[in-house]
Amino acid sequence: MKTAMSNHYLECLLESLNDKTEETSDWLKQLRAQAIDRVSQLRFPTTKDEEWRFTDVSPLEQLPFKPAQTITTLKQEAIQQFFVSESTNRLVFIDGFYAPELSSLNDSNSCLIGNLSSMVTNQSSLAASHLGRHVHFQDNIFAALNTAFLQDAAVIVIPRNVTVTDPIHLLFVATQEKVTHSPRCLIIGESNSQATIIEDYVPLQQHAYITNSVTEFSLAENAQVNHVRVQRESNMAFHLSHCTASLERHSRFHSVDINFGGLISRFNLDIQFKAEEAECAIDGLTMITGKQLADTHTSIDHAKAHCTSHQQHKCIVDDNAHAVFNGKIMVRPHAQRTDSSQSSRNLLLSGAAQIDTKPQLEIFADDVKCAHGATVGQLDNEEIFYLKSRGLPDLAARNLLTYAFGAEILDRIPVASLKRTLEQTVLNQTQNLLTI
């Protein structure tokens, strides 16, 4: 069944693809064609769907947003405030399009970093074996749309036995109003490699626009990746994001997801254990106010034995904002000796704020160690009283406790300057939060 949303996007897609004149490989054309076909068959999600019952994205159907166009006039001074000082390798994308003049590449660590076009030219078989192979766009209309629009993409390959000491910064900047852009990332960690990846979404203006992004991680045996994802889009924007990580034997994936922006945002994270003795640690912080809606859906698939996953997600919600967390852990029949834990902790700062949290465990093996839990509450009056007894005003005490609640997640960011920047963002927001 087609819908107004899928028809509108498909028409825009076909129009934009017909305008393309650049040469590309046959496998990439085929991938796009498969995605276009899926878009025409998938229906737009509604609140009647279990996976979307708390998140009404029907306003997107009414937005006549067309694909973004390439803009080359932006100067480095306009985005320098977002640079991470520790990053010697930085890829900048403006409205989804690669901006080489704003990027900075350092090949001293012998890793492959660049835009998709260079990867298709120099490493076509490697790109073809991974791009679009980890994210399941066949049953996700937004991932299918991103793949159908696929043109530019951040591609990182960490070769075998290489450790990249400095973080690699992928900066996605939104500049245009009433457009849709489709950022794409592909990160391949070959055996015994290590790297830290920062995936960062920022606006230059408080415009209305749509970001629809897809990120794929493929970690080979004993590869290790730290992934920091920061979503600080315009509070008038719509942010839809899907991230998938495929983990082979002894690989380790640590992700810290920070969500501050977006009028409506949805983040899907899928972890797939492809071999035994792999590990993942998933941490998340959502801090929203006003009429924002932030939805986080995670799925950790323990398909192999002897794997470990630990997840902690926190939400701070004020005013009339609405946060959603749905975390699913699947332990399949042969996944014995699984060790998995999940925690959802949520802080309400106003009587009108709302949180829906649903941690899930589905266990089909009998020799496992699994636990989950969820809490929703307000600031502790005894802790407020203690701080006030030490001389802090009531508002300062509440702000300090609110900051401390989120700081636990921020402390797990392995990039010092970025952690300080985000800590200051949280401090600034706590000073403006409405308290009960």
pLDDT digits (tens, 9 = 90+) for 256-313: 999 999 999 999 999 999 999 999 999 999 999 999 999 999 999 999 999 999 999 9
Mean pLDDT over 10-19 rounds to: 55
**Helical pair 394-410 and 416-432, crossing angle rounded to 10 deg:** 150
Q: Who's near 25: CB < 8 A, 6+ residues apart?
A: 120, 124, 128
Rounded to a whole number, what is the distance in angstroms from the first to the last CA of the chain? 46
Count CA atoms closer than 13 A to 93's CA, side-chain side: 27
Question: CA 276: distance to chain centroid?
Answer: 25
Q: What is the pLDDT of residues 122-143, one digit of tens each?
A: 788 888 899 989 998 888 999 9
Spatial contact of 66 and 25, defined as CB atoms under 8 Å apart: no
Question: CA 311: distance to chain centroid?
Answer: 15
Q: What is the pLDDT of residues 227-243, one digit of tens each?
A: 999 999 999 999 999 99
25-34 long-range contacts (CB < 8 A, ≥24 apart) are: 25/120, 25/124, 25/128, 27/124, 27/128, 28/120, 28/128, 28/131, 28/150, 31/131, 31/132, 31/147, 31/150, 32/147, 32/148, 32/150, 34/147
Mean pLDDT over 199-218 rounds to: 96
One-letter amino acid at 285 equals L
Q: How confident is the model at residue 392 (pLDDT cuts 50, 70, 90)?
A: confident
DSSP 8-state code for residue 104: B
Residue 111 reports pLDDT greater than 50: yes
Q: Who's near 17: CB < 8 A, 6+ residues apart?
A: 32, 36, 148
pLDDT at 396: 86
pLDDT at 3: 45
Mean pLDDT over 4-32 rounds to: 63
Place of tokens 């996944």: 335
Residue 169 reports pLDDT greater than 50: yes
Give SS3 for 269: strand
Cross-strand bridge partners of residue 355: 323
Mean pLDDT over 36-44 rounds to: 87
Lowest-confidence region among 46-50, 107-111, 145-149? 107-111
Supply φ then ψ for residue 41, to 5 degrees. Answer: -100, -25
Give dist(CA 47, CA 45) in Å, integer.
Answer: 7
Query: When comparing pLDDT for 194 and 44, which is higher?
Result: 194
Residue 110 reports pLDDT greater than 90: no
Mean pLDDT over 10-24 rounds to: 55
pLDDT at 109: 57
The string of DSSP letters for 70-92 reads ------GGGTGGG--TT-SEEEE
pLDDT at 243: 97
Mean pLDDT over 171-192 rounds to: 95
Type and span of the H or E element at 210: strand 210-219
Residue 4 reports pLDDT greater than 80: no
Q: How confident is the model at residue 65 (pLDDT cuts 50, 70, 90)?
A: confident
Q: What is the pLDDT of residues 330-340, one digit of tens each?
A: 999 999 999 99
Q: What is the pLDDT of residues 315-358, one digit of tens each?
A: 999 999 999 999 999 999 999 999 999 999 999 999 999 999 99
pLDDT at 166: 93
Q: Give percent of the chain with pLDDT exceeding 90.
A: 70
Q: How confident is the model at residue 12 (pLDDT cuts 50, 70, 90)?
A: low
Read off the tokens for 282. Answer: 């998933």
Q: How confident is the model at residue 436 (pLDDT cuts 50, 70, 90)?
A: very low
pLDDT at 23: 54
Mean pLDDT over 354-366 rounds to: 93
360-363 long-range contacts (CB < 8 A, ≥24 apart) are: 360/326, 360/327, 360/328, 360/329, 361/329, 361/331, 362/328, 362/329, 362/330, 362/331, 363/331
Query: When comparing pLDDT for 235 and 21, which is higher?
Result: 235
Residue 13 reports pLDDT greater than 60: no
Residue 81 reports pLDDT greater than 90: yes
pLDDT at 21: 44
